[in-house]
Structures are given as C-alpha cells and as structure tokens.
Amino acid sequence: MDKTAIKNFAVWARKKLIEDIKQKAYELGITEKDIKEPKITSSDIMIIGDKTLTREEIRQRESLVLRIREKGFNEIVEQVAYTWFNRFIALRFMEVNGYLPSGIRVLSSLEPGKKEPDIIREALNIELDLDRELVYKLQDANDTEGLYRYLIVKQCNALNEILPGLFEKIEDYTEILLPSNLLNEGSVIRKLVNDIPEDDFKDQVEIIGWMYQFYTSEKKDLMK
C-alpha cells in the first residue's frame, strides 16, 4: 500500500471538494458573504442568475440556507465535502471487492481502459428506486453528467438501507451540493480511480482508515 499516494490524494481531495462545493453554492446564489434572493419564485420554479431550479431543488436550497444560517457557510461546506469524500471512498472499496448488491461498478468500469463508469451503461438494469422517465429524458438529452449525479445519489441512498452506519441518509443540501463534472479528468472520482492502485483497495479496510486520517489531519493542521 502506497501511503504517500494515499496521503497526497486525501489532502488534495479535501481542497478540491471544498472548491467544487463552494462553486455549486455560488451557482445557487450562495457565498460566504451573501445569500441572493431569487429573481422569480413560486412553489414550482425559482430563477437565480441563469439557473432555473425545480421544485425539489427549491426545497433543497431552502434546507441549505437554513443550515448555513444555523452553522455558518464554511462549516456546512466542510461537512458536505467530508460526506462526499466518505461516500466516494466507500463506493470505491465496495466496487473493487464486489460488495455492491448490484455488482455494477459506480466509479469505474470492469472494462480495461474505459473511463465511463459501468453504472451509466446499466442505468436501466440496476435495481435502484429510479424515476425511469427522468433517466430516459437525461439519456435522450445526452446529459451523461446529470444522469451520473442522479445515479450516485440514488446508489448512496439505497446503501443507506443496508449499511446505515456507513451510508447515512443524504440530506437535501448535501445532494444539491454534489460537485459537477465528476466524469472529467481532474475530478475527485477520476483521481481516486487513477491515482490509487486498485489492489490497495482489495480486502484492505485499512486503506479507508488511512484515507480518513490524512483527510482530517489536513483540516487539523490548518486549525493550529
């Protein structure tokens, strides 16, 4: 096990996730200094800048605003970043060791050299609580990124039912702050798959402990 590679990834991933999550919040009109009022709002639609939110996204944003007012912007960003880091590491460990109930990889592919995760191809064959019409809509629009984000959230929530200690139910604001461009080179998922040898995850729960330790040590060092 290459602990240097693990440390480098964990430290980098924390900074990257925080950066990406702050960008998602900005797209929702939320920054450390300001929470913008939407231009147009109703029970069904909200427009912030050039972004139009659905009813579900409106509810998620309202939950996010409430939590920020309770705990502060940076605290919520840190919390969401850590939540997604935990989930990505756990998903990687489970898919490498064949522990996912579906047997379908979520972050990578069994096909050598293929970058697109298998769950995208198998979206309509996997037993998750999916809105099939939404899946068809995303596929028809070639919105692979949107489909992937949707599938990740659904997979994590499904795992909550069988592994509640590891996969706590994703809160509304955590879902809406899931970073964009997860399939791109340089994303946290791509770096996790590419930079940490798959063999390091095979039946070695120890790697999860090291990941968490290096991730949290970065935050502790900054607080000194």
pLDDT tens track for 59-101: 899 999 999 999 999 999 999 999 999 999 999 999 999 999 9
DSSP string, 50-63: TEEE-HHHHHHHHH
What does the pLDDT average to over 3-28?
94
Task: Note the pLDDT of residue 43.
Answer: 67
User: In the chain, how many domains are there?
Assistant: 1
Length of the chain: 224
- Say which residue, 16 or 167, is predicted with more confidence: 16
Compute the distance between CA of residue 172 and CA of residue 96 in angstroms, rounded to an integer.
Answer: 28
How confident is residue 51, by pLDDT bands cut at 50, 70 and 90? confident
Compute the distance between CA of residue 37 and CA of residue 115 in angstroms, rounded to an integer.
Answer: 39
**Tokens matching residue 191:** 């770096």
pLDDT tens track for 101-129: 989 999 999 998 899 999 999 999 998 88
pLDDT tens track for 175-192: 899 999 999 999 999 999
- Is the pLDDT confidence value at 224 over 80? no
CB atoms within 10 A of CB 9: 22
Task: Note the pLDDT of residue 219.
Answer: 66
Task: Note the pLDDT of residue 54.
Answer: 83
Q: Which residues lie closer than 8 Å to 124 by C-beta, 6 or more apart?
A: 130, 132, 135
Task: Note the pLDDT of residue 137.
Answer: 95
> Between the CA of residue 174 and those of 19, 57, 149, 221, what are the distances in Å?
15, 11, 12, 25
- Is the pLDDT confidence value at 174 over 60? yes
How confident is residue 46, by pLDDT bands cut at 50, 70 and 90? confident
Compute the distance between CA of residue 153 and CA of residue 123 in angstroms, rounded to an integer.
Answer: 13
- Say which residue, 174 or 220, is predicted with more confidence: 174
Task: Note the pLDDT of residue 162.
Answer: 75
Compute the distance between CA of residue 116 and CA of residue 93 in angstroms, rounded to an integer.
Answer: 18
DSSP 40: E
Compute the distance between CA of residue 104 and CA of residue 76 in angstroms, rounded to an integer.
Answer: 31
Task: Note the pLDDT of residue 170.
Answer: 64
Task: Note the pLDDT of residue 209.
Answer: 86
Q: 112: domain range?
A: 3-223
* Prediction pTM value: 0.89
Q: Which residues lie closer than 8 Å to 142 by C-beta, 6 or more apart?
A: none
The residue among 50, 81, 113, 101 whose CA lies nearest residue 177 is: 81
Compute the distance between CA of residue 162 and CA of residue 194 in angstroms, rounded to an integer.
Answer: 28
